[in-house]
Structure 1
């Protein structure tokens, strides 16, 4: 009888404790990085998804900024993803918006999540850009959760661009090139990758983009060289060439693409046999048009002569 009473007493104590524990409110999960991220970080914590928590080291992790989005702002509420995660031994269904490599949403839907905040400024025409029309997503170039976004640094940006633009990567390896491999410039120095003009340039035209640095070539000149005024890329390849000054080919071959031999008859390379001022012989020396025509981008000579407009010094 004493044993029975002892067992009943223990059982009563256990039931009372269980009832008290059931009535005690559960502690709400706490946010780890972003405001309101507890819904996601309950599963995606430092053990299972440390790369996701690295967003705290980026601008998207600045909790003091009221504009900072939470997880659901970009990924959607994803109620089904939360409710069915881990059930049946299978993978959780995809989140609503995307940024999921296993179950990605459409490129348009993924970009829409970013454009909710980043639509203005240089990205205002993103939908009409070449990148957008070819289903390139923001996450194709940007690492949203990574504290080191390579595309935002001059030295590492070309690595990201060269993933697709392999021809330009090869051109930058040529002897004459803009200092992009050296880190003094980046692709975005000339290009607005979110823009809508044909080459996604930082300025409305090729010339305006070049004039951002090469102001001395802008003019206006008394005597304008028409190819220069039309398009710098007629003579230059900005990514790199095997000829000095980024020229597509060396003079006189480059110049003779437009200029016939009327003023300078066709000549074989060679040296004059004696002292002479004849252009039919001097044109062979060095085979360089710029030996005489030094102001090839435009001349300001006001001398009243037939040769004043020939871009000589």
Structure 2
């Protein structure tokens, strides 16, 4: 009898369990499985709608540094765009969903400062961007996304061949200058704007990467650094006194061809008599003593004699050689 009662109790328990499972079955079958992250941690909130069919292809962020899952610093969608609950849930059931809390599209109403803060909050610790506050681009309300593209495998600014086109969007004058006969090989893809400038700010003038223009130029033109016994003061002050680094029509990136460039600072060699009579300066000859001679400004160049205009260790100032002693 005891075995009979035990068997009946077991059958009753099994029947109750089966009934409970049957009651729960419809609810479990009708529920959607939780969405899975596709690229970034926690992106399921966004990728349930924004899939590979989007244009621009937002999921391509997984091919960039911002999509490196193994890096703990990798941001999520909400780190940049905000929680954006109204955009996600659309509580007012609007036909066009409200924009995200921080929107980066061309027609956005999100202030530039708020857009940039989403980038600077992470990149402020980077030494290359530590001078952003107060820089020329920051004062001009330039947004990070005006130059950079995040949801793309190739950011144009990061490539030397395409970077100048991004800069030329605003810097029209420099676009014309690099097309002149004498120019740095920017269009050829050998030199990029970022080789000389730090667009995120610097302590030097004109956003140059080093503390001064000359120090920036010396990073490539080291032979001009010196030290020299006889230094050319304009060289020590600013290479831009004589050169336009973006491009000119004169050779060697000179602003004006010699001797006219030199005459902007140096009085042309010539006899006193010719100058008193209002004539063009002349180079005195051995027989003329300054009364007549060859017009110095025609078919002549200062560099015929002064070959080391950036600095020289010769001739000596205390014992000049004859060709420099015109007295």
Instruction: Work out whether residues 126 and 132 of structure 1, in 8 Å CA contact, stay in contact via their aligned partners in 2.
Output: yes
Match of 1:207 in 2: 214
Q: Secondary structure at the match of 2:94?
A: helix
Compute the RMSD of aligned alpha carbons. Answer: 3.0
Report the TM-score when normalising by structure 1: 0.84
Q: How does 1:219-234 map to 2 (within 5 A)?
A: 219-234=226-241
Deviation, structure 1 residue 97: 2.0
Deviation (angstroms), 1:82: 0.9
Structure 1 Cα separation of the partners of residues 105 and 297 of structure 2: 65
Q: Match for 1:54 among 37, 57, 60?
A: 60
Q: Structure 2: which 5+ runs fail to align?
A: 1-20
State the distance in 1 between where 2:64 and 2:323 align.
57
Alpha-carbon offset, residue 93 of structure 1: 1.3
Does residue 38 (structure 1) correspond to residue 51 (structure 2)? The answer is: no
Corresponding position of 1:123:
129
CA contact (8 A) 1:269 1:285 kept: no
Contact 1:130 1:198 in 2 (8 A): no
Aligned to 1:10: none
Query: Counterpart in 1 of 2:319?
Result: 305
Q: Which residue of 1 aligns with 2:11?
A: none
Q: Does 1:295 align with 2:308?
A: yes
- Structure 1 residues 213 and 271 mapped into 2: Cα distance closer, same or farther (>3 Å)? same
Larger Rg over CA atoms:
2
1-structure distance, mates of 2:160, 2:153: 16
Residue 263 (structure 2) aligns with? 256
Return the offset for 1:261.
Answer: 2.8
Q: How many residues get paired? A: 294
Cα pair distance change 1:221/1:276, threshold 3 Å: farther
Is 2:150 the counterpart of 1:144?
A: yes
* Distance in 2 between residues matched to 1:76 and 1:44, nearest whole Å: 16
Q: 2:252 aligns with which of 224, 245, 251?
A: 245
Conserved 8 A contact 2:180-2:247? yes
CA 308–270 in structure 1, closer or farther in 2 if over 3 Å, else same: closer
After superposition, give the CA deviation of every residue in 1:170-217 in whole Å (9 maximum; x if it has no partner).
Answer: 000000001111111100000000014441111111101111111111
Indicate the larger mover: 39-48 or 132-141.
Answer: 39-48
1:184-199 alignment runs, 5 A limit: 184-196=190-202, 197-199=204-206
CA contact (8 A) 1:176 1:245 kept: yes
Query: Deviations 1:150-186 (Å, cap 9, x if unpaired)?
Result: 1101111001000000100100000000111111110
Cα distance in 2, alignment partners of residues 172 and 229 from structure 1 = 25
Deviation at 1:88, TM superposition (A): 3.2
Q: Residue in 2 aligned with 1:100? A: 105
Runs of at least 5 residues in structure 1 that lack an aligned partner in the other structure: 1-15
**Residues 302, 247 of structure 1: alpha-carbon distance in 2 compared, 3 angstrom cutoff:** closer
Counterpart of 2:83 in structure 1 is: 77
Q: Deviations over 1:23-54 (max 9, x none)?
A: 44430011122121110011111224461111
Deviates more, 1:281-290 or 1:182-191: 281-290
**SS of alignment partner, residue 180 of structure 1:** coil
Distance change (3 Å), C-alpha of 1:302 and 1:294: closer
